Amino acid sequence: MSEQVWFSADYSQARDRFLEAAKAAGARIETRENPASGPDGEVLATDIAFIGDPDAESVLLTFSGTHGAEGYCGSGVQVGWLRSGLWREAPASVAQIHVHAVNPHGFAHTSRTTEDNVDLNRNFVDFAAGAPVNPGYETIHDILCPTVWDDDAADRLAARSAAYTQQHGTWAFKEALTAGQYTHGNGIFFGGTAPSWSRTNVERLLAGHCAGRRQLAVIDYHTGLGPRGFGERIVDHLPGSAGYQRCLDWYDGDCASPHLGTSASARLTGQMLDAIEHQLPDVAVTAIALEYGTQPEHEVISALCADNWLRFHGDENSPRGRAIKAQARDAFYQDADDWKQMVFERALDTQRRAIKGLTS
């Protein structure tokens, strides 16, 4: 199997390949154009492929590009699943919905965030009730988001982060950093102040195509955490809940929980998978984030901070800007044959298990 040919070099190629693969599979396609444009003025869109009976009680739902630059991974899986004909393994009782480039702006611009610098996977909160508070982030914002990024910036970031970790602990730093923050629009892991364009699209999809189903298996593809090439199945269902137990059953216990401290991820706020469960209370939702490692965590954090600096203080077309964009791409996409093979094999096993769970 030539997994490598299903992964793309940029957003435009990924979109073209997904649409071609979806059409070849006979999928019905919906396209939702983003109000922003790509780096070369190209149209940006979230494309959705529907396969099977639109009234089926059970649905496999996959997402790529929730964190834009991470879209290379999920897009490659979706293209391969459709192009290879593996989608035919799902029985007629299971419909499929594949959402390509949930955050197309971030995908096209090789950035984790949306056109509003919003981390989509922190954006699903009830803003009317007041955004969550993350006092830890307030103490590290200046460490993560300096106004100067020169040749020594990464070393300064590493030293100051290490000093904070030594004083407060590794998990205190990780949660302060990644849990989500709602006070600094020019910071990282910013959850926004209102629902984003991408969030609204997801909610519209759920209301129009997922409500009223009996059960839903959700796989959201991510990169940047954990050992290189390994796909950790992260379960955010609360331990002891029906959704959590289904994940354990479907994936033979091969799952990790931020709530139990067994995941590479800290506990987060405003997650999309939690929102799906909350929006569909009458549907049996079994959801995981499939998270693939790329580089050591400190290098991924450095890439995030550098890209954030570039967005607010730098020039993407300068030599430093181009180097930072290359650094960001490498942090979320390993353009290497062995990595792509590991990604696809784990994804294939996961999607097969999800379909088996839906039919058991």
Cα 268 from chain centroid? 13
Q: Residue 291 pairs with which residues in a beta bridge?
A: 222, 232
pLDDT number for residue 284:
98
pLDDT number for residue 60:
98
Cα 85 from chain centroid? 24
212 burial (CB, 10 Å; 0-12 / 13-18 / 19+) is exposed
In the numeric block, the tokens 């959590």 are attached to 244
Q: Residue 47 pairs with which residues in a beta bridge?
A: 31, 100
Cβ distance 53 to 103 under 8 Å?
Answer: no
H or E segment to which residue 96 belongs: strand 94-100
Cβ distance 330 to 295 under 8 Å?
Answer: yes
* DSSP category for residue 220: E
pLDDT number for residue 1:
52
* DSSP category for residue 207: I
Q: Residue 151 pairs with which residues in a beta bridge?
A: none
Q: Which CATH superfamily is domain 3-122+197-293+335-359 in?
A: Zn peptidases (3.40.630.10)
pLDDT number for residue 29:
98
Q: What is the mean pLDDT of each run of 10 residues along the chain (360 residues)?
A: 86 98 98 96 97 97 98 98 97 98 98 98 96 94 96 95 93 92 97 98 98 98 97 97 98 97 94 97 98 97 98 96 97 97 98 97
CA distance 45 to 197: 11
**Domain chopping of the chain, boundaries:** 3-122+197-293+335-359, 127-189+298-329
The amino acid present at 265, given as its one-letter code, is S
Strand 43-51 relative to strand 94-100: parallel, antiparallel, unpaired? antiparallel
